[in-house]
Structure 1
Amino acid sequence: MKNESTRDSYSLKILAALQQDGRLSVQDLSQRIGLSTTPTWKRLKALEKDGVIQGYTAVVDRTRVGLATCVLAEVNLSRHVENVVEEFERAVQDCPAIIECFSTTGQADYLLKVVTADIASYDAFLHSVIFKLPGVSEIRSAVVLREIKRPSPLPLDQLG
């Protein structure tokens, strides 16, 4: 379902520009999209209010800060009752090393993206965190050798 604030081309242009540079001033943003400052500001505030823009962050190179190991962990739960699922998902939310979590179809119930300093740290993480998560029955880990494509801007041109 489309959000009201993303129904026009200017709002899509705002989103595209901010995905490239979230530090643009409203004035620079308005120049980039070809709209005056006040309507740009109003659209920007509407996008924030509607939750389309959820926040502004810096993209940090994890390897340069010492988080060289990335692992994709497939997790299966022993039982799919509401309280087990809720406890598991809450525990995942509270764990900073798990930077992404997806509920999936197929062989795994969840796919976790985990970053640690090295393989020894991941092994310690498995024993101190993952094996203790509520309802976990099976884990399959795949160590990422190279990241071919990192998180990137959404393909908003498909909407226009």
Structure 2
Amino acid sequence: MRDALDRRILAELQHNARASTSQIAGRLGVARSTVHERIARMERDGTIAGYSVVLGQPQGDEVVQILMLLEIRQQDTRKILQRLNNLPEIKLCLSINGEFDLFLTAEAPRIEDLDILVDEIAEIPGVIRTKTFVVFGRKFDRRHSETAARMMHSPTAHP
């Protein structure tokens, strides 16, 4: 069971997973041993499943991103998911409720590549209809630390 201090520690780790327990303790005003013990407990109980590196996009390697909603025949779900999984442009596939069944995100270097992808997905047997949105810009993304780009340029903190 997480309390307010656990949530604050998690927020610090999400902001910078490479911060030392001493740095986190200093920012939160608690003992380093408290932070260390709580992180260890959250790792043991699965609250913290791991740490990862978020790669940045090199300058000039911009991609176009789309969001897609798919309505599918339920009996074809497995075959459709297999086909979607073989399309490297698709970065995320979620099962959702409502009038659509699947939510996808896809990325490619050019909008023309995504236009071809959308047509290819629409032709998969069992896909009833699609709805596509082009992403104009990313305002924030809490799945990745806002400091990932800074961390790539100044690796000073180590856990």
1:49 counterpart = 2:44: yes
SS at match of 1:151: coil
SS at match of 1:16: helix
| Aligned-residue offset at 1:24 | 0.6
Q: Which residues of 2 match residues 10-159 of structure 1 at below 5 A?
A: 10-62=5-57, 64=59, 66-77=61-72, 79-81=73-75, 84-89=76-81, 92=84, 96-126=88-118, 130-131=121-122, 135-147=126-138, 149-152=139-142
5+ residue gaps, structure 1 = 154-160
SS at match of 1:106: coil
Partner of 2:146: none
Deviates more, 1:134-143 or 1:11-20: 134-143
Alignment RMSD (CA, Å): 3.0
Deviates more, 1:130-139 or 1:111-120: 130-139
Q: Give the TM-score normalised by structure 1.
A: 0.70
CA distance in 2, matches of 1:28, 1:94: 43
Aligned residues: 144
CA distance in 1, matches of 2:61, 2:135: 15
**CA offset digits 1:18-53 (Å, max 9, x no partner):** 122222112211222222222211211222233322
SS at match of 1:111: strand
